Structure 1
Amino acid sequence: MPPARIGPASPGDNSAAAIRSLAERGYDATTAEDLAEALGVSRSTFFRRFGGKDDIVFADHDHALARLTVFLESTERPAREAVVQGTLEVMQLLTRDAETARLRSELLRRTRPLRERELVITHRYERLFADYLAAHTPADTPRWVAVAAAAGVVAVHNAALRSWLRDPDPGVIASLDRELRELLARFSPWLGGPDGADGSTRVVVAVADASEPSERILEAVRDALER
């Protein structure tokens, strides 16, 4: 199933030029004026739209989080399905421009302050998913379920993104979809699933003689369901 669309295109789509400038000049050597020039806007417009150098590096993540928040607040999908679809959409957004994604990754690798902010971004994703899952599971669900499931979802997404950055694979969305479903199936006693409360399809076989009265056949079916 393709991921649900959770919002319009990012307003920061033209940030690719600024990220390229940061990668070429170096993070410390690049000024706000350099980035404004790369974007073709004034310095004041740059600050109004992006805030600063590190903000533009994470513009896609900020927008992805905003879109994901709206999606989770408005979707009527089951919680497990909503988390999968929302995560796939984030991956699509972050991989839509392979060159910009690679340059951003290189900047993060070389720049400690950016790596520290990346940890904050990761926590924001985890907190968003954890809060959503906590609100969409039975009241007696252990507190750790939402926390562990959210952390697992973000970890699986990030591992898929790192793998894609090393070797861009057009099948990354399908692979991530499968991995997320396998992960969340481990939490099916609390999150449920599309085929039943425990995320699995239950097949029941009842054997009866077709010549028997319908009441006897229904009784055989009831007995099989209660086993």
Structure 2
Amino acid sequence: MFNWASISINVLLLIATIGTVVYASKTLLMEYSSQVTVSRYKKGININNKHPFYWEVELTNVGKGYIVKAFILLSAPSSKSDGKVKKYYFLSKPIVGIKPDQNRSLRLELSKEKFNLGNSEAYELEVIYQDSLNNYCIVSPGMDEGNSHLERFDKLPKRMSKLGWKYWCYKKKLKVAIEQENSYPKIFNAELKESHQQIEEKFKNFKFEPTNKEDTN
């Protein structure tokens, strides 16, 4: 014969335990979660710069937690219809360590050659960041012209579940940007290598000739 009183008590204890775990996880999330808002966005061309095309966003951490790292991810369909590359992705130099209530700026600069890889009319900008709970979030400030931000609500960041397709989709985008050599370190190293090659080419036929006896000693 069932002891219904004992079963009822065990069920109530199980419900209480589950409720405690859920409450604790919610409290932890509220205490350490972070949320970034894009308080300012601009893009433009500076003809005096080696990388004239730029995109810049100002981020504000309005949460209670700590932002570990944040990137600009810029994407656009290929400007060529040869079918070899469908889409190009570009990663900015990251910013690290955004504290609560702190403002930081993210900036991505491209050379004319890099900019022309993508369709100039179809560039899409997104901000990806990692918080102290190892959550990955994404927010898109949009690329509207004028003062349209005064006529609409801002887009808030969305957390990407590691079990969802979107998380793996963005992991793939980051990987492709690196493979295309469109991340900040890849672009910097490629330009440094090109600069060294130009210097070597310029001086490859140069011969040092001593002008006095002291130079030969």
Q: Same fold (TM over 0.5)?
A: no
Relative to total residues, which structure has the larger strand share, 1 or 2? 2
TM-score range, shorter chain: under 0.3
The structure with the largest alpha-carbon Rg is: 2
